[in-house]
Amino acid sequence: MASKRDDKELLAIVNKFFVDASPVNKALGIKIISVDSSNPQLQFEMKKDLVGWEYAPMLHGGIIATVLDAIGSIAVYLDIVGKMNSGSAEERMEKYQGRHKLNTIDLRIDYLRPGKGKVFTASSSILRTGKKVGVARMELHNETQHLIAVGTGTYIVAR
């Protein structure tokens, strides 16, 4: 079991790689709130720039897809790094980052209800990770726990 220090270190590293280094994730206002490898989570707040049509103030479908893709890739990343046997969280993350790339191969989104809300939480779980491919299942909820969308992402784990 990881210590609280490891979790804080891991959260800082994942934020560095997936938020600070990603202009689009920064622009969305994404905040990673959990790096639990079995259920990582991120949050973001509704803002007018995320609306698809000003007369219907709800999240644009592309924003939903982007956020679900982000949490899916984070889940695969955490699962792979978690399987490494040695080193601190930072050493394992740096080792992975230097030798591998993680890119989306396929993304399927099911939009279940309009993206209405003030704060949205995306979460993910791993369906499978192998040497070349990782597959994650993602969900997006609003602050009242209404399920907005679900997705499945397939990611190449390139060496």
Lowest-confidence segment of 34-43, 94-103, 107-116 by average pLDDT = 94-103
Element (H, E) at 9: helix 4-15
Domain housing 81: 4-158
* pLDDT reading at 98 higher than 70: no
What DSSP character marks residue 6? H
pLDDT one-digit tens code per residue, 65-81: 999 999 999 999 999 88
Element (H, E) at 61: helix 61-82
pLDDT score, position 81: 83
* pLDDT reading at 1 higher than 50: no
Phi and psi at 134, nearest 5°, equal -125, 145
Q: Structural domain tally of the chain? A: 1
Instruction: Kindly report the CATH number assigned to the domain that includes residue 35.
Output: 3.10.129.10
Across the range 31-60, mean pLDDT stands at 95
Q: What is the pTM of this model?
A: 0.90
